[in-house]
Amino acid sequence: MLGIRERRKAGAGEGAGAGEGEDRGLRGRAQARGERAARARPGGRWLWGAGTALLVLAVHSNWHLAAAAWLFPVFLLRYARLRPARRGLLRVGYALGLGQLAWLVSTGMVFVPSVVAVFAVLVVVQTLPFIADRLVAARSGAGWSTLVFPVVLVCGEYLFTRLAGFGDYGVLGFSQHGFLPLVQLASVTGVYGVSFVVAWTASVAHWAWGRGFRWREIRRGAVVWAGALALVLGAGGVRLVWRAPTTDTVRVAGISAGRAAERATQRALHTAGQELWRPRNLVRADPRRVGAALAPVADDLVAATDREARAGARIVVWPETQAGVLADGRQRLLDRVAEIARTRQVYVNTAFALYTPRPPYVRNVAALVTPEGKVAWTYDKAHPTPMEPMTPGKGAVPVTGSPYGRLATVICYDADFPELMRQVADKDTALILVPANDWAGFESLHAQRAVFRSVEYGYAMVRQSVHGVATAVDHQGRIRGLADYFTADRQTLVAEVPVRPRTDTLYSRTGDLFALLCAGGTLVVVALGVVRGRRVRAAFPGAPGGRP
């Protein structure tokens, strides 16, 4: 009797197991049918529309919204998951292309063919993390799969920065320049860490959405993400409080020539029939006429230097190339500045277009005049923009000592190249002076990016930008002063900048280690994609490509 009962129990257990297996199979098939139906429905188009609209607002421009950068990937990731892989990813690429086109139009760069070509490559790079999520993360669904998107995104940003020769444009993290607790992460990972946090948040939100936000299913992944975000923001807040700048400051003035002086020089240089504004024509014209044409701006800057020095500024910074001078007249201009520097005991970082008799006929120069009346450095811009037909400088950042800490300079676009700016940190610079010249549509972008350079490397920065927004930033990214060229007849930036030895940062020591780790993680993602694809094809020989 006992044996009979045991056999009956065993049979019942087998029946139950078979029933459960059958139920799981039915649920799996139903889920698969549901996913196929979802991919076939046209209703997913609203996801693409919402994601694209948010993307246009998220692209770092004068009118970007920081919150949109956290949101747009959620919708585009969801869209890519619900559509057939090829079609969905292609349309995500279209969305990213529209975002970059909006940026090019808003900044006026759409008329520069070389820039358009570079940003077309950037669109392809930005599509790669969506491809990785669709083809690798979608096949797992585990909490770790949320890391695929941010890891590949950071890898793409880093490789584009290093290989394209166009600076660190296209980096998602720059959109968060005003979120100082998060920005402090750049002192450890560079701006790439901020990109990672934003992208990971979007990936986690998408992952939770795919599970209907059911707490039992997302609890572990959500807790890990929330804990990491709390740690990053908490550490950033602590750094802002406990590593705050010293109250010992130096008064710095950034000056630009007034509108009247600019108009006078422009009228003289655009003389009908001669077009003196072209460097080739300018160096061949009558030197007296050229000198008279360039004089209003130079005279205005010299007068403004004396005015701000008398008002108490200890360092004065000129903007990039607003002033122009012939090679024969350079020393006379520097002698005028040297007289003010000796009399007022100030440092003056002059900047000007230096016109020379040999092609390409112009140099973009910054020259620091010390309180002794001597020229401490003459620096040529190392990274001319695609619109500047001039020979690049050697890229050796000059540094000199002062009672206010070690001073250094680069010019405008140079600050978009992290490896060049790392030189400044390696030389223990406390304050970097950046002459700059922007334009309408681009006036705020460089000023906002300067926040990250200061936090990454631990130095203060004064960026005097004519035709743009001039800013003074401390080593934690706080704005100490701001002057908008387009809202004043005479743009003058005056700021009390903290004086201290450079604040050492982990990023200045380890460099792009975090980005390199993400590059290594991307190789792992690629390997997982290959292995999983082979397994799917082996298990389902009839499946086309093993699509998830």
347-393 pLDDT, tens digit per residue, is: 999 999 999 999 999 999 999 999 999 999 999 999 999 888 888 99
pLDDT band, residue 17 (cuts 50/70/90): very low
- Element at 4 (helix H, strand E): helix 2-40
Dump pLDDT digits (tens) for 229-255: 999 999 999 999 988 887 789 999 999
Tokens 């923001």 -> residue = 233
Dump pLDDT digits (tens) for 72-93: 999 999 999 999 999 999 999 9
pLDDT of residue 300 exceeding 60, the answer is yes
pLDDT of residue 141 exceeding 90, the answer is no
Four-residue CA torsion sign, 210, 214, 218, 222 = positive
Give dist(CA 66, CA 407) in Å, integer.
Answer: 33
Give dist(CA 439, CA 137) in Å, integer.
Answer: 42
pLDDT of residue 18 exceeding 50, the answer is no
Going through 91-204 in order, the beta strands assigned E by DSSP cover none
Burial 510-536 (b: 16+ CB within 10 A, else e): eebebbeebbebbeebeebbeebbeeb
pLDDT at 6: 47
In sequence order, what are the beta bridge partners of 252?
315, 495
Four-residue CA torsion sign, 441, 443, 446, 448 = negative
pLDDT at 31: 46
Distance of CA 55 to the CA centre of its chain: 16
Give dist(CA 127, CA 103) in Å, integer.
Answer: 17
Burial grade of 9 (CB within 10 A; 0-12, 13-18, 19 or more): exposed
pLDDT at 535: 64
pLDDT at 547: 45
CB atoms within 10 A of CB 548: 19
Longest dimension (CA), the chain: 123
pLDDT at 541: 62
Four-residue CA torsion sign, 203, 207, 212, 216 = negative
- Of the candidates 420, 418, 419, which has an alpha carbon nearest to the alpha carbon of residue 409? 420
pLDDT at 24: 46
Q: Between these two residues, 281 and 16, which has the higher pLDDT value?
A: 281
Dump pLDDT digits (tens) for 391-401: 899 999 999 99
Collect all residues with Cβ–Cβ distance below 8 Å to 153 and sequence separation of at least 6.
126, 128, 129, 172, 195, 196, 199
For 279, what's the count of Cα atoms within 13 Å in the CB-facing half-sphere?
A: 20
Average pLDDT over residues 119-148: 92
pLDDT at 139: 81
Average pLDDT over residues 504-516: 94
Give dist(CA 426, CA 227) in Å, integer.
Answer: 34
- Amino acid identity of residue 250, one-letter, is V
Give dist(CA 404, CA 499) in Å, integer.
Answer: 6
Output the six-digit token pair for 181: 């607790």
pLDDT at 40: 45
pTM: 0.89
Arithmetic mean of pLDDT over the chain: 89
Average pLDDT over residues 462-483: 96
pLDDT of residue 173 exceeding 70, the answer is yes
Collect all residues with Cβ–Cβ distance below 8 Å to 439 and sequence separation of at least 6.
108, 467, 468
Q: What are phi and psi of 208, to 5 degrees?
A: -65, -40
Q: Between these two residues, 501 and 414, which has the higher pLDDT value?
A: 414
Output the six-digit token pair for 336: 């005028």
Strand order across the 469-473 sheet:
399-400, 407-409, 431-437, 460-466, 469-473, 479-484
Give dist(CA 226, CA 233) in Å, integer.
Answer: 11
Average pLDDT over residues 496-518: 90
Tokens 């409080």 -> residue = 241
Dump pLDDT digits (tens) for 185-237: 999 999 999 999 999 999 999 999 999 999 999 999 999 999 999 999 999 99
Which overall architecture, per CATH, does domain 249-502 show?
4-Layer Sandwich (3.60)
pLDDT band, residue 176 (cuts 50/70/90): very high
- Amino acid identity of residue 137, one-letter, is A
pLDDT at 72: 98
* SS3 assignment, position 488: coil
Collect all residues with Cβ–Cβ distance below 8 Å to 100 and sequence separation of at least 6.
59, 119, 120, 122, 123, 170
Dump pLDDT digits (tens) for 403-455: 999 999 999 999 999 999 999 888 889 999 999 999 998 899 999 999 999 99
